[in-house]
Structure 1
Amino acid sequence: MKTQLKDSIGFKVNITANLFNNIFNQQLQTYDIAIEQRATLEIIQVEKNITQTKIAQILGKDKTTISRTLKTLEKKGLIKKEALDKRTFLIKLTEQGYEVLEKSSQTVQAFREKIASKFTQDEINELFKSLDKVTLALSEE
């Protein structure tokens, strides 16, 4: 039986994303954070007065996954939660969180530039448009 995986857009996107995440996670080990934790810290830095729900929306993750990430970041002393009410918390970076972002920023920038350097700007724009089409097709289901 011949597999059709090699012709599957989802399979190709998944394989590429897994490779991307594995390599990036190896580079972030120095800072004792994983790619999703780094992305979460970056979002918290940029978005003031952000909640767990908003982080989940931005990352396209469910609240349970984000809850686990936030608990890990809190245990590491990188974030703190400020209660708005009994069920809603604002998520803030600690000084240590800002330091980890600062220390890891050169690694992150170099990684992003290495990937981007393999493409022209037109190719990057086309890739983004293609990925947006995949997202749209999936959201119609």
Structure 2
Amino acid sequence: MKDKTIDYILRATWQAVSRMYNEEAAKYGATMATGFALLSLDRDKGSPSTTLGPKMGMEPTSLTRTLKSMEEKGLITRKKNPVDGRGVLIHLTKFGKEKRELSKNTVLKFNEKIREHIPEEKLLHFIEVAETINMLIADKNIFSDIPEEKQMQTTNK
């Protein structure tokens, strides 16, 4: 692992997790994105469609496709927002709530299995490292010491 870059390790790990969740979701005719959306929606009050994309880290076109598929499968319904008539609230159907529980149990099982194999102290270090990486990226502190001209030369190669 010494010769692998941090971004490679992150990407490879995420791809493995994503593949695992998609394989599990496929058993139920779903996808990881569907499961994530089910878990991101407010179970009782519904959620504004405009908050889902940022919450899930999805592009609007991907989110639209996912929500359309979920609506076709009877997992969600769309209703006008009673507070703001221009907006839409996404509500889970009874079927959607059942599938949400399945998604929740799948995520909990994953976490449980990881915790069985990795000591709590190492997990806390992992979380701390991930939070630091996210903070550095959010604060744009990764390439801030490289002059913009040099960045452009590097990316154009």
Tell whether the structures are fold-level matches, with TM greater than 0.5: yes
Structure 1: which 5+ residue stretches go unaligned? 1-5
Residue correspondences, number: 135
Pair member with larger Rg: 2
Aligned to 1:51: 48
After superposition, the Cα gap between the structure-2 partners of 1:107 and 1:140, relative to the gap in structure 1 and judged at 3 Å, is closer
1:124 aligns with 2:123: yes
Give the whole-Å Cα distance in 1 for the aligned partners of 2:11 and 2:62.
19
Aligned to 1:79: 76
Which residue among 7, 18, 22 is the counterpart of 2:19?
A: 22
Aligned to 1:137: 136
State the TM-score, normalizing by the size of structure 2: 0.76
State the TM-score, normalizing by the size of structure 1: 0.83
CA contact (8 A) 1:31 1:104 kept: no
1:117 match: secondary structure: helix
Aligned to 1:69: 66
**Which letter maps to 2:131?**
D
CA contact (8 A) 1:52 1:67 kept: no
Give the whole-Å Cα distance in 2 for the aligned partners of 1:105 and 1:139.
28
After superposition, the Cα gap between the structure-2 partners of 1:105 and 1:136, relative to the gap in structure 1 and judged at 3 Å, is closer
Question: Percent identity over the alignment?
Answer: 24
CA contact (8 A) 1:43 1:55 kept: yes
Deviations 1:80-111 (A, max 9, x none): 1112234x210100111012123454443322
